[in-house]
Structure 1
Amino acid sequence: MPESPEVERIPSDLQELLDRFFAVCRQDLELMRDALHGRDFNTLARLGHTARGTGSGYGFKGMGRIGYDIELAALERDPAAIERHVDNLAHYLDTVQVEFDG
């Protein structure tokens, strides 16, 4: 895991949506952990894909990269890699620093 937090530059018009955004991301993270426990690779691929698209769409490039990693590991049915990437996502959500554009 990275030692220093990532800094993401987000459009200022999204500022009021971020509390809800992070709440949903944390819910999805728990769903990922549950799916991993149950070896539900289809759900993991879907959730990884969602994290990739949503993260990138909001400007969270690091989340987009991790979501892609989760999706790919799920498609490869690699539980050890999935667990590592899910842990990376948890760390990212806990430490990401947001700077607003505009």
Structure 2
Amino acid sequence: MSQKIIETIDNELKMLVERFMENTNLEVATLIEASKKSDFLTINRIGHNMKGSALNYGFKHLADLGRSIEKAGANEDVENIKQLLISLKDYVARVEIKFERN
């Protein structure tokens, strides 16, 4: 079994995190489709939005992935995008959310 990726999120956001993760799963699917079509604009946009949203919620690892996806989309870096999507799917499968008061 793979090791979990722990994200520590403010307890006040607990009610919003489930929907955020649902949206993240939708973004993964959209990114996969965009990569199949070499739609770099969509990849760049979703990466940018993912980075910002993840930072707002406190998902540091996800924000880093979003930043990298945004950059790879801007550079039209097909091979890097493929690797980042593998990493993103792995992240979603392994992330464990811990809620704490800040």
TM-score (norm. length: structure 1): 0.93
RMSD: 1.0
Structure 2 counterpart of 1:73: 72
**Counterpart amino acid of 2:83?**
R
CA–CA distance in structure 1, aligned partners of residues 48 and 99 of structure 2: 25
Structure 2 counterpart of 1:53: 52
Structure 2 counterpart of 1:87: 86
Identity of aligned residues (%): 28
Structure 1 counterpart of 2:32: 33
Moved over 3 A (4+): none
Aligned residues: 100
Structure 2 counterpart of 1:101: 100
- Structure 1: unaligned runs, 5 residues or longer: none
CA–CA distance in structure 2, aligned partners of residues 50 and 87 of structure 1: 19
- Structure 2: unaligned runs, 5 residues or longer: none
TM-score (norm. length: structure 2): 0.93
